[in-house]
Structure 1
Amino acid sequence: MYQVGELVSYGSTGVCRVSEIINQTCPDGEERLYYVMQPLYKACVISVPVDSDKVFIRPIITRDEADRLIGLIPTMDCPAFHSRVSRELNEHYTTLLKSYSCQNWMEMTISIHTKKQWLLSRKRKFGSVDERYLKQAEELLFGELAAALDIPKEEVREYIGAKLESLKAS
């Protein structure tokens, strides 16, 4: 069970802080424990049963895990996924997003950026499906990295760049 104040990754919402754990009476009269959570990057409050298995919830990664993941970037092989069938693109990207893995989100963003550069270098249009999923993956990834590293989300891209530069130098 998570504790009040703990940061968790909650489904497609991203990083949330557990603000309360409350007893609530359900319509059937049964008492259940609920997490009351506040997303760090959205203005809302979420209430979810502690024992729910409908939405994925896990602790966020640690600072060391975030730095280790960033350090893996130069060794990652993230080929672009190409398909003219938007359903296939949707399925591919949805599977990666729903893995709820920072490493998969990292590989997905690198892959889509690779695809974008390849298309733009050939003066071809970058697709809206790719653009939408790139934005979703970056939101989830950068939100979790920001929380783990205790920096503003807007500084994550710069932090990654600086970390990669220091790795090159050493």
Structure 2
Amino acid sequence: MFNTGDTVSYGTSGVCTIAEKKRLTLGGQPHECFILRPVFDASMKICVPCDSTPLLQKMRAMPTRDELLSLLREPAPTHDPDPEVRRETYREALKSGSLHELIAMVRDIYTERTLRRAKGKQLSAYEDSALRNAQNALHSEFAYVMGIRPDEVPAFIEKELNKA
């Protein structure tokens, strides 16, 4: 379980600090809640009821530097040509908040973007939106763990992928 002061990743919100744990009334019922503060967006607060398993499952411990680099060095996922299959895969990856699934999704969307650019086309609105959501979470995690700014993450990832 997590404690006040811990740094966690929360779904696609990215890196957050557990600012406090307090009792709040939600939907007319009292709940113990974690109050999360995103590290790279001090204006935002996230309330996670401690009795909500689906919301608690979105909270996970921060990866290590070696874990992140290892995920980048995995072989690229197989690209499915069916856009509906990809859409469902992306939806599940975003829903899970799994670091492994989000990285695989981003790499797959990059593949699709390359294929589309070769035909003079752009990503679909859904793929573009899914990519931004995944990057929001991933960039904050990479920035936090690697000790770099979020805007430096794309170049860092590209450099690491080129090494692989």
Q: Same fold (TM over 0.5)?
A: yes
Q: Distance in 2 between matches of 1:156 and 1:129?
A: 23
Q: Distance in 2 between matches of 1:110 and 1:164?
A: 10
Shift of 1:24: 4.2
Q: Distance in 1 between matches of 2:150 and 2:19?
A: 21
- Equivalent in 59, 63, 67 of residue 65 of structure 1: 67
- Indicate the RMSD between aligned Cα atoms, in angstroms: 2.4
Mapping for residues 1-170 of structure 1, pairs under 5 Å: 1-24=1-24, 27-28=28-29, 32-42=31-41, 43-55=43-55, 56-72=58-74, 76-83=75-82, 88-164=85-161, 167=163
Structure 1 runs not aligned, ≥5 long:
none
Q: Distance in 1 between matches of 2:24 and 2:132?
A: 36
Report the TM-score when normalising by structure 2.
Answer: 0.81
Q: Which amino acid aligns with 2:50?
A: V
- Aligned length, in residue pairs: 160
Q: Contact (CA 8 Å) 2:40, 2:140: kept in 1 or not?
A: yes
Report the TM-score when normalising by structure 1.
Answer: 0.79
Bigger relative contact order, structure 1 or 2 (CA pairs below 8 A, ≥6 apart): 2
Aligned in 2, Cα 1:84/1:101: closer, same or farther, shift over 3 Å? closer
Structure 2 runs not aligned, ≥5 long:
none
Q: Contact (CA 8 Å) 2:12, 2:136: kept in 1 or not?
A: no
Q: Distance in 1 between matches of 2:83 and 2:68?
A: 34
Larger radius of gyration: 1
CA-to-aligned-CA distance 1:4-63 (integer Å, 9 cap, x gap): 2211122332221111122446644x5x43211101233211222223213121112122
Q: Distance in 2 between matches of 1:11 and 1:107?
A: 15
Identity score, percent: 26
